[in-house]
Amino acid sequence: MTKKLVVVGNGMAPGKVLETLFETAPGQFDVTIFNAEPRVNYNRIMLSPVLSGESKYEDIIIHDEAWYEANNVTLHAGEKVVSIDRENKTVRSDGGVIEGYDNLLIATGSTPFIIPVPGHDLPGVLAYRDLDDVNKMLNAAAKGGRAVVIGGGLLGLEAAAGLKLRGMDVTVIHLMPTLMERQLDPAAGYLLEKELSSRGIDIRTGANTKEIYGDGKVEGVRLEDGTEIDASIVVMAVGIRPSAQLAKDAGLDVNRGILVDCQMRTSDPDIYSVGECVEFEGNCYGLVAPLYEQARICARALTNDAEAAFAHAETSTKLKVTGVDLFSAGDFADGEGRDEIVFRDPAQGIYKRLVLQDNRLIGAVLYGETADGAWFFDKIKKGEEIDADERATLIFGQNFAGGSPLDPMAAVAALPDEAEICGCNGISKGQILNAIDKNELTDLQGVRQCTKASSSCGTCTGLVESLLALKLGDAFDASAKKTVCDCTEFGNDEVRRLIIAKELKSIPAVMQELGWKTSCGCAKCRPALNFYLLASWPGEYVDDNQSRFINERVHANIQKDGTYSVVPRAWGGVTTAAELRAVADVVDKYDIPMVKYTGGQRIDMLGVKKEDLPGVWADLNAAGMVSGHAYGKSLRTVKTCVGSEWCRVGTQDSTGLGIKLEKLMWGSWTPHKVKLAVSGCPRNCAEATCKDIGVVCVDSGYQIHIAGAAGMEVRATDHLTTVTTEEEAIEMCAAVLQAYREQGFYLERIYKWTARIGGAEKVHELIVDDVENRKALFERFKYAQQFSQDDPWAERASGKVDAHEFKTLELVE
Amino acid sequence: MDGMAPFERWFDICELSDIPVRGSRRLEKDGMKIAIFRTSDDRVYAVENSCAHKGGPLSEGIVHDCAVTCPLHNWVYDLSTGKAQGGDEGQIRTFPAEVRDGGRVHLRLAMAS
Ligand code: SRM
Ligand SMILES: Cc1cc2nc3c(=O)[nH]c(=O)nc-3n(C[C@H](O)[C@H](O)[C@H](O)COP(=O)(O)OP(=O)(O)OC[C@H]3O[C@@H](n4cnc5c(N)ncnc54)[C@H](O)[C@@H]3O)c2cc1C
Ligand code: SF4
Ligand code: FES
């Protein structure tokens, strides 16, 4: 006996149900389909190639008219079902068509989410879901102009690439710091951004849309930070929501999606549901692979196969933009007992990361070379054990597997002499071995100097080291080299140099291009990279707060009990009655347990609760005080003495000069902390000769001293030079500071930097003798300072920056 | 259902986006201080916010991979196990935490008494 099956929605999932059903149980069902879209079933996935012009609509039809006829299916195209009458077992469409059913299949798919910013309803704001959307985009593209795509996920980027190929200017606005963050880790997200940018797509990450403006139609988009981007269309691709309203109105159990059991049955046993509208064990799906599986299970359940059971499975993702190879699958988060294998080939723009747990592959991200994606995905799904041998070559993929696992030394030994080792400089194995012999080289540095091998992108470093080990045996100690940390082969000097040479402007960029061995660094390298980038690209680099030590992240010093200390600036050590009064009030108001004069001529309020910090800062700000950066690798204090203004032996206005220096330099980030002092005469009451930079005033002018220390090591300064005017003194000090900012290694005080580059004589050469260089350094310092002299306390006291840091969470009961 | 002790339950805490990537938030429940972390790939972990060394607030540390470095003396903890790494020996409490479908962070704790 044939049963009457009515299907609501004619998308990819129900299409698969019917194909399976007609194959396994021909003649058992008499099928009627309602489809809100006025057309047959087509391959929605392939809309992107239609948009870009690589396919036509006709090419992506799954079931043509003949198929419906052959299978006796009635299709009500353009009829949207508006109600289900479960008692009488009928459905009704907006056009008034009523059909009765024995079984109903709800496959309403999902609805694009439109962020409700002002202007979201203007003509020209489009979603990206069906053929009508594509046609609207094509019409707009024919007129030219700019398309703004909101959302840097799979759909948004496919739309962006398509519109670009159709000749539009395209800007992508993405809220998160890297693209496709749900499918890709930051390293792969970075490569993708780089690739799309090189195709002329303007990508703005970390950008939040505030409104869409226009008079009667879209004219542009305004971001939260005030930036305006002109636009003739806006495509919103920020996510989808299961279309479950119809089911909900019919009284079926609905959570985020329509709830089904493992047989795809809803809370009404006669009604089934498949596709994006479904929620199964807390999961909703947005990719076809699991939906097709649902469809096959549903077809079996419809024919009373009690064994059929849907189970949650991993999904894999590919981006369909021609020329971009990207693949991700499984679970590639870090976690308990997990370890990763990372392979990077910066020259080819390749990044691969495999995540293993209990000797099983559980996740993979591939960029640039994805041929092994399916092979890895298969391994993830099968969950077979991977032994140590296989593991050694796993990342090289299928072709490598099964071959004998390679010992790197043996592999290098086996290479012919003409094999190229350093691709950047075209250096062969033979050339390197010759150079080692001829010049009696013993380390990597030597090989780099003599042959240039491994001195560019550095990815051949491991090979070069193997060659050294081959030649020298135990005499070669690869660990002799001091790297930034265990995440990289490079030292601080190389990292600093390559950041500039390769114009690397973000932490993921550095990690990719320099072949970092971990996916997101460690507590050692991240703060260093953040500083190097900040110092190299003032005004361009966006500070990564999460790569800073807590003190710099919340702009206060953490104490042993988790409270904080607050030290406002006292310019040159000078204060006023009003400031002291404000400090007293703050101490009372916030019940601060301790107030102390520091060794740096200022006031420290200790034991402030973290949540009180914004309030404390707001009150201090109101009295004109700003952050003293007592917590930072930055300019700390400029101590002064009373000088010629008061002191009977003072020779110059040391207090005034100290204040000028502090006002010029405050806010500047440096490799380590920097302390200055200005004494009014050689009696040196400000202790200038044990500071990073010290000035001692004399009758004839100003002695400039550098490279002092009075901490773990005590070191008197070296006299750099003496100048006659205050202006020269300021320029000299600032030039020293800037040279240190440009060359210092992270956590290297000025005295260590000076010793490393060749002592005070070297600094003299660079800054005193080379007038032009001095002036250029001074200019660069002033330029960088424009971007660092906003009081971090004021920004946070306003509640606009990092508010989450200072509020604890509440349990929602 | 998932082996939960009878006196524990899941609490809805916040949106995933309330926790910065590679950052943390703090929470207090019946006098217990808890730190919730979000890794670069959007995993969440919750641990007792007190270092086994000298009680340092781990919520203030730098988060890297699945680990946090204590801000006071740099002990490193695996967030999923609560075990100190490297040469240091110590164990802190961990609490089951997860991001549910809608992007809400949930945390399993003892029920309010
Ligand atoms: C508050 C203060 C002590 C005081 O009560 O006087 C202080 C307090 C700390 N000092 Fe200091 N130092 C203070 C003046 C000094 C001085 C004296 C000076 O600046 O004239 C020195 C020696 C001069 C020098 O720097 O060479 C000094 C040498 C150090 C060192 C050793 C640095 C070195 O390179 O050897 C450290 C450790 C470090 O930075 O790695 C340190 C580190 C610290 C830290 C930040 C400890 C830490 O790592 O957390 C302390 C923070 C306490 C807090 O929360 O406020 N402090 N510290 C002084 C703040 C000055 C200010 O107004 O900003
Ligand atoms: C541009 C684009 C690219 C994609 N790329 C990929 C990819 O590369 N890989 C991948 O796996 N997935 C991709 N997807 C996702 C994939 O297309 C969907 O997961 C899949 O199409 C969902 O199938 P479905 O049957 O659940 O819903 P749909 O295919 O959305 O079908 C639902 C249909 O139901 C109709 N409908 C809704 N309500 C009613 C009603 N009340 N009455 C009658 N009809 C109704 C709708 O008009 C629609 O035609 C992409 C999606 C898009 C939009
Ligand atoms: S000398 Fe400095 S670092 Fe040491 S305890 Fe005193 S304030 Fe802290
Ligand atoms: S308190 Fe955490 S390392 Fe000391």
Per-residue pLDDT, A402: 45
Q: CB within 8 A of A744, min separation 6: which ones?
A: A670, A671, A672, A750, A753
B101–A550: do the CB atoms touch at under 8 Å?
no
A549–B71: do the CB atoms touch at under 8 Å?
yes
Partner A contacted by B103 (CB < 8 A): no
Distance CA A278, CA A263 (A): 12
Per-residue pLDDT, A406: 44
Tens digit of pLDDT for each residue in A199-252? 899 999 989 999 999 999 999 999 998 999 999 999 999 989 999 999 999 999
Partner A contacted by B112 (CB < 8 A): yes
Distance CA A640, CA A662 (A): 11
Tens digit of pLDDT for each residue in A475-497? 776 656 678 988 888 889 889 98
Per-residue pLDDT, A335: 65
Residue type for position A311: A
Superfamily of domain covering A635-792:
Sulfite Reductase Hemoprotein, domain 1 (3.30.413.10)
Task: Pinpoint the residues of chain A covered by CATH 3.30.390.30.
Answer: 325-406
Total CB pairs under 8 A between chain A and B: 117
A546–B76: do the CB atoms touch at under 8 Å?
no
**What DSSP designation does A354 have?**
E
Length of chain A in residues, anyone?
A: 813
- What is the pLDDT confidence band of residue B1, given thresholds at 50, 70 and 90? very low
Q: Which of B22, B76, B101 sits opposite A546 (nearest CB)?
A: B22
Contacts 24+ apart (CB under 8 A), A714-719: A714/A690, A715/A690, A715/A751, A716/A689, A716/A690, A717/A688, A717/A689, A717/A690, A717/A691, A718/A754, A718/A759, A718/A760, A719/A760
Over 50: is that where the pLDDT of B2 sits?
Answer: no
Regions in chain A scoring below 70 on pLDDT: 333-336, 399-411, 414, 420, 423-425, 455-459, 477-481, 812-813
C-alpha triplet A389, A390, A393: angle, nearest 5°: 100
Distance CA B86, CA B90 (A): 10
Q: Hey, what are A697's tokens? A: 């005033």
Measuring CA to CA, which residue among A627, A625, A659 is closest to residue A640?
A659
Residue A186's alpha-carbon distances to A182, A544, B40, B71, in angstroms, are 10, 13, 8, 24
Over 70: is that where the pLDDT of B5 sits?
Answer: no
Superfamily of domain covering A3-111+242-302:
FAD/NAD(P)-binding domain (3.50.50.60)
Per-residue pLDDT, B113: 43
Contact predicate A631/A545, CB 8 Å? no
Per-residue pLDDT, A403: 41
Tens digit of pLDDT for each residue in A406-460? 455 666 776 778 776 776 667 788 999 999 988 888 888 788 878 878 765 555 7
Distance CA A668, CA A737 (A): 10
- What is the least distance, in Å, from the CA of B12 to any CA of chain A? 5
How remote is the CA of residue A565 from the centroid of ligand 3, in Å? 13
Distance CA A693, CA A676 (A): 5
Per-residue pLDDT, A459: 55
B25–A558: do the CB atoms touch at under 8 Å?
no
Contacts 24+ apart (CB under 8 A), A382-385: A384/A360, A385/A359, A385/A360
For domain A125-238, give the CATH number: 3.50.50.60
- Ligand 4 atom with the smallest distance to the CA of B73 is 3
Which CATH number, 3.40.50.10240, 3.30.1950.10, 3.90.480.10, 3.20.20.70, labels domain A553-627? 3.90.480.10
Per-residue pLDDT, A407: 54
Q: Hey, what are A132's tokens? A: 């009508």
Task: Pinpoint the residues of chain A covered by CATH 3.50.50.60.
Answer: 3-111+242-302, 125-238
How remote is the CA of residue A632 from the centroid of ligand 3, in Å? 15
Partner A contacted by B12 (CB < 8 A): yes
Report the SS3 class of residue A19.
Answer: helix
Helix (H) or strand (E) holding A165: helix A154-165
Task: Pinpoint the residues of chain A covered by CATH 1.10.10.1100.
Answer: 420-481
Q: CB within 8 A of A651, min separation 6: which ones?
A: A644, A680, A681, A697, A698, A699
Architecture of the domain spanning A325-406: 2-Layer Sandwich (3.30)
Q: Are strands A709-710 and B23-29 parallel, antiparallel or unpaired?
A: unpaired
How remote is the CA of residue B50 from the centroid of ligand 4, in Å? 8
CA neighbours closer than 13 Å in the CB half-sphere of residue A5: 26
Per-residue pLDDT, B30: 83
B39–A526: do the CB atoms touch at under 8 Å?
no
Q: CB within 8 A of A261, min separation 6: which ones?
A: none
Strands (E), B1-112: 8-15, 23-29, 32-38, 44-48, 62-64, 67-69, 76-78, 94-95, 97-99, 104-110
Per-residue pLDDT, A793: 92
Per-residue pLDDT, A265: 97
Per-residue pLDDT, A399: 64
Task: Pinpoint the residues of chain A covered by CATH 3.90.480.10.
Answer: 553-627
B60–A562: do the CB atoms touch at under 8 Å?
yes
Residue type for position A663: K
Tens digit of pLDDT for each residue in B20-74? 999 999 998 888 899 999 998 889 999 999 999 989 999 999 999 899 999 988 8
Beta bridge partners of B97: B107
Distance CA A402, CA A419 (A): 24
Mutate to test the pocket of ligand 1, among A598, A746, A749 (most ligand atoms within 8 A of CB): A598
Partner A contacted by B9 (CB < 8 A): no
Fold of A420-481: Arc Repressor Mutant, subunit A (1.10.10)
Chain B interface disruption, residue of A115, A182, A336, most B CBs within 10 A: A336
Contact predicate A291/A275, CB 8 Å? yes
Per-residue pLDDT, A404: 41
Over 80: is that where the pLDDT of B3 sits?
Answer: no
Contact predicate A361/A376, CB 8 Å? yes
- The percentage of chain A sitting over the pLDDT mark of 90, rounded to a whole number, equals 61
Query: Is residue A710 within 6 Å of ligand 1 at its C-beta?
Result: yes
Distance CA A700, CA A696 (A): 11
Query: Is residue A153 within 6 Å of ligand 2 at its C-beta?
Result: no
Q: Which of A520, A526, A546 sits opposite B23 (nearest CB)?
A: A546
User: Cα-flanking dihedrals φ and ψ of residue A106, to 5°?
Assistant: -95, 120
Report the SS3 class of residue A220.
Answer: strand
Residue type for position A688: A
Q: CB within 8 A of A647, min separation 6: which ones?
A: A641, A680, A681
